[in-house]
Structure 1
Amino acid sequence: MKFSIKGFSPIRDASIVLDGLTVVSGENDSGKSTIGKLLFSLIKAARIARNKPNEDIARKQTLRTVLNLVFGKDSRRGLIELKGGVFSEPFCTVEISDDGYIAAYDCPADPFLGGIKDATFIDTPLVWQLFNTYQGIASERAKAVDVGDHFPIQYPFTQFDIYSKLNGSVPGRGERLDDLQERIKKIVGGRIVFENNSPMFQRGDEFYPIFSTATGIQSFGFLQRFMELGLAESERILILDEPEVHLHPKWQIDYAELIVDMVADYGLKVLVTTHNPYMSKALKLFSDRKLREEVNYYYSVKEGNFSRLVEDQELEIVSREMAKPMFLLDTLKAWEDDS
């Protein structure tokens, strides 16, 4: 499947192929997160609108609602397309007008857009730390819905979506899935478990509140829990927005290998956005060994206030652009030594 965006600020032009693992590198404020959020919004809206009365109208209205929740009510204009097969003709086209309304919505009445039934967007481990808070929000919101009241509390839509999934019940687990979880347990020295409906970190016989553990451990906890819940499957896409932010360079490499293994073993589709050379090169190394095909790398190039996406299969642009800060430091050091 190919996902294309035109004119959705700050993205002038971006097209990515979503076969297995897709990696988008680039500077801050170059549109990387926007790509992931738009893809999440399109797939999530189709899933929410399924089986609603007046489905054609509901899908259009639901997408506008989701876009407003994800981007704010100042959703920008743009053209969004999904293409399948040999990527010749779009099977889903959305046009957003200047005022943020859906000017055109031509997508199939199917919650499985491009064969993907759900998307998850993860950009922070804060969800774990606010888990009990989200439990309270969910409870109060349910009460308000039951009596037809308006629920006034606003909360991050993508984070609440993650909470709702993490809070699910664990089905039976297969042998291979246990193997990957054992690797996570070895890396972080324990695992996340649930006690009295609250997440805890178990290390040996000791249990610790999840909010008191390192954010790096919480980041690995997402992968562990998603595998436990059976959410690492071929009909889903996991969007990881700069997952390296809370990880030591060594753990970035471990994390990258786990991502590649989830794609290789379960057929999970993963979109990673990153501005870190450790993450980019680790994903490249492991995907060359274990995936070979169904892997696509891109670099988001800033051009003034806008950006465009270019292919970077061999990480040539990543290596050049992400090395510039080190060259700058070396230059400053040399200047200080000479002064």
Structure 2
Amino acid sequence: MKLIIENIGMIRQAEIDLYSLCVIAGENDNGKSTIGKIIFCILKAVNRYKEDLRESKDYWINEKLNEIYFFLRTNLKIKNSSVTERMMLLRSHSFSEQISSEQWPVFDELINELIHTAELNTEQKEHVIQLHNKIKELVAQPENQRKAIENAFNKIFASEFDSSLLLQGASKGYIQLLDNNITLIHLEIDQHNGVTLLSEIEPIELKDATFIDSALVLNYHDVLIRSQTLLDIDKRRLGNLGMAYTTLHTKDLFDKLRNPILPNSLFDIDKTELLSKLHNIVNGEIAYDKNVRDFVFRRNQEDISIKNTASGIKVFGLLQILIANDFISKNSMLVFDEPENHLHPKWQLKLAEFLVSLAKNGIYILLSSHSPYMIEALKRYGDQAGLAKKSRFFLAENRCIKNEDRLGEIFQVLAEPFEVFRKMDAEVLRGE
């Protein structure tokens, strides 16, 4: 697959082929993280728009149904057992569960019975009939797939980028995902960060993405468990008002660390071998302990508070939990933003070797890095694993990324500090 973006986030122009192992290097403020966030958002939006479509329609059906209930409860004069029974049935279902359009025929009949058995005046009866007809229209309304997809992208991008999706100063932006010159997605972003779909949506092989930008997410259980994203507001959970906000990728990662998913045939990587490798690296494992409602590091049958463990252990612990919970699988992508942070060079090499083993198992790896140790290790281990033709090293500069392997230039950029040291040494020698 190929990703093309223009005037998005921190990037003016980027075109990259998504290989099994993709590495993006470059100085800060050149858009390295933007690529991973865009792919993360695309996969989230494409895989949730059908859910949004159904939720939106069912929500308004339920709202109108509840409106009928409140109106009848206020205006009913007759209180015989038949009417009372029907009112209780209407209340018990409309307030205990979301009524779907498939369930509507039962309530259609129930409302008809209430209209005809309850003593309502002409004006009251007409109001209930109008509400009833509105629900019928909602039930019969064809699903607008294109609009649902645009809504999904708007909500996902807003939850991840807030109001900063479009490059500052640009009037329009574009995001395009292709596979062998077939357009899978083509989006236009306007000045108000609104998303317009410019093509039909084609199926995408990748089913999910996980974005990691800090292992310290493990330290903030008490905060993140009460946090929400802008998606939660759209779900109209009034009880969440006043709660802390976080980015979508942070909340997504936190939820995946706490909750394993049900077994699925897609998850067919050899978890045992991978988990064994991670256990050997840190001589233990990180897990979520439901009893203490927090993450712990287990070593030699002893639980240690996650807050008292080294940041390097947390990096490998994140991978342990994600693999154990079946969120790192074939046809998924792991996006790692500067994973070398807090890692000793020796462990950078171990992490690079492990990420290569994931790529070899069919997991797509997209990584940004400043570390020459990490980048060279990924190159060497990748070549040893037979991934030379499935790896690509990109350079982000001047807020652009060209679709070229630029490993040599990356090392030149990363070597610039050493050139400064060389000049300093030369000055010292001249002074002597």
Equivalent AA in structure 2 for residue 232 of structure 1: I
What's the secondary structure of 1:50's corresponding residue? helix
Q: Write the distance in 2 (CA, Å) between the matches of 1:17 and 1:70.
A: 23
Equivalent AA in structure 2 for residue 95 of structure 1: E
Equivalent AA in structure 2 for residue 30 of structure 1: N
Counterpart of 1:178 (choices 260, 263, 272) is 272
Alignment-derived partner of residue 307 in structure 1? 400
Equivalent AA in structure 2 for residue 289 of structure 1: Q
Alignment-derived partner of residue 104 in structure 1? 197
Deviation at 1:211, TM superposition (A): 1.7
Equivalent AA in structure 2 for residue 158 of structure 1: H
Deviates more, 1:14-23 or 1:248-257: 14-23
Alignment-derived partner of residue 375 in structure 2? 280
Contact 1:299 1:310 (C-alpha < 8 Å) held by counterparts: no
Equivalent AA in structure 2 for residue 68 of structure 1: A
Deviates more, 1:65-74 or 1:245-254: 65-74
Deviates more, 1:96-105 or 1:240-249: 96-105
Q: Which TM-score applies when normalising by structure 2?
A: 0.70
- Judged with a 3 Å threshold, the aligned counterparts in structure 2 of structure 1 residues 271 and 233 are, in CA distance, closer, same or farther, namely same
Q: Write the distance in 2 (CA, Å) between the matches of 1:254 and 1:231.
A: 21
What's the secondary structure of 1:320's corresponding residue? helix
What's the secondary structure of 2:341's corresponding residue? helix
Contact 2:175 2:187 (C-alpha < 8 Å) held by counterparts: yes
Matches within 5 A, 1:59-78: 59-76=149-166, 77-78=172-173
Equivalent AA in structure 2 for residue 328 of structure 1: V
Deviations 1:273-294 (A, max 9, x none): 1121111111110111112332
Q: Write the distance in 2 (CA, Å) between the matches of 1:175 and 1:233.
A: 6
Q: Does 1:326 align with 2:418?
A: yes
Alignment-derived partner of residue 159 in structure 1? 250
Q: Write the distance in 1 (CA, Å) between the matches of 2:384 and 2:282.
A: 24
Alignment-derived partner of residue 22 in structure 2? 22
Q: Write the distance in 1 (CA, Å) between the matches of 2:159 and 2:323.
A: 27
- Judged with a 3 Å threshold, the aligned counterparts in structure 2 of structure 1 residues 263 and 175 are, in CA distance, closer, same or farther, namely closer
Matches within 5 A, 1:206-245: 206-245=302-341
Alignment-derived partner of residue 344 in structure 2? 248
Larger helix proportion, structure 1 or 2?
2
Q: Write the distance in 2 (CA, Å) between the matches of 1:170 and 1:62.
A: 23
Alignment-derived partner of residue 299 in structure 2? 203
Q: Write the distance in 2 (CA, Å) between the matches of 1:192 and 1:207.
A: 9
Deviation at 1:126, TM superposition (A): 2.0
Deviation at 1:97, TM superposition (A): 1.1
Contact 1:16 1:22 (C-alpha < 8 Å) held by counterparts: no
Counterpart of 1:90 (choices 174, 183, 192) is 183
Contact 1:64 1:101 (C-alpha < 8 Å) held by counterparts: yes
Q: Write the distance in 1 (CA, Å) between the matches of 2:351 and 2:221.
A: 23
Q: Write the distance in 1 (CA, Å) between the matches of 2:322 and 2:270.
A: 14
What's the secondary structure of 2:327's corresponding residue? coil
User: What is the CA RMSD across the aligned residues, in angstroms?
Assistant: 2.5
Equivalent AA in structure 2 for residue 334 of structure 1: A
Contact 1:300 1:310 (C-alpha < 8 Å) held by counterparts: no
Deviation at 1:149, TM superposition (A): 4.3
Deviation at 1:248, TM superposition (A): 0.9
Q: Write the distance in 1 (CA, Å) between the matches of 2:303 and 2:44.
A: 35
Answer with 1 or 2: which has the greater Rg: 2
What's the secondary structure of 1:136's corresponding residue? coil
Deviations 1:102-123 (A, max 9, x none): 1334342x7xx52111111110
Counterpart of 2:219 (choices 123, 129, 146) is 129
Deviations 1:177-208 (A, max 9, x none): 22222221221121112322421001112211
Alignment-derived partner of residue 175 in structure 2? 80
- Judged with a 3 Å threshold, the aligned counterparts in structure 2 of structure 1 residues 146 and 321 are, in CA distance, closer, same or farther, namely closer
Equivalent AA in structure 1 for residue 247 of structure 2: P
Contact 1:191 1:201 (C-alpha < 8 Å) held by counterparts: yes
Q: Write the distance in 2 (CA, Å) between the matches of 1:145 and 1:297.
A: 40
Q: Write the distance in 2 (CA, Å) between the matches of 1:78 and 1:181.
A: 41
What's the secondary structure of 1:287's corresponding residue? helix
- Judged with a 3 Å threshold, the aligned counterparts in structure 2 of structure 1 residues 325 and 68 are, in CA distance, closer, same or farther, namely same
Equivalent AA in structure 2 for residue 241 of structure 1: D
Alignment-derived partner of residue 58 in structure 2? none
Q: Write the distance in 2 (CA, Å) between the matches of 1:134 and 1:226.
A: 17
Contact 1:301 1:309 (C-alpha < 8 Å) held by counterparts: no
- Judged with a 3 Å threshold, the aligned counterparts in structure 2 of structure 1 residues 147 and 156 are, in CA distance, closer, same or farther, namely closer
- Judged with a 3 Å threshold, the aligned counterparts in structure 2 of structure 1 residues 103 and 136 are, in CA distance, closer, same or farther, namely closer
Q: Which TM-score applies when normalising by structure 1?
A: 0.88
Equivalent AA in structure 1 for residue 370 of structure 2: H
Deviation at 1:28, TM superposition (A): 0.9
- Judged with a 3 Å threshold, the aligned counterparts in structure 2 of structure 1 residues 63 and 251 are, in CA distance, closer, same or farther, namely same
Q: Write the distance in 2 (CA, Å) between the matches of 1:94 and 1:122.
A: 25
Contact 1:60 1:105 (C-alpha < 8 Å) held by counterparts: no
What's the secondary structure of 1:317's corresponding residue? helix
Larger strand proportion, structure 1 or 2?
1
Deviations 1:25-52 (A, max 9, x none): 1111111001111111111112222242
- Judged with a 3 Å threshold, the aligned counterparts in structure 2 of structure 1 residues 175 and 75 are, in CA distance, closer, same or farther, namely closer
- Identity among equivalent positions (%) equals 29
Deviations 1:197-245 (A, max 9, x none): 4210011122111122111111111211121112222221111111111
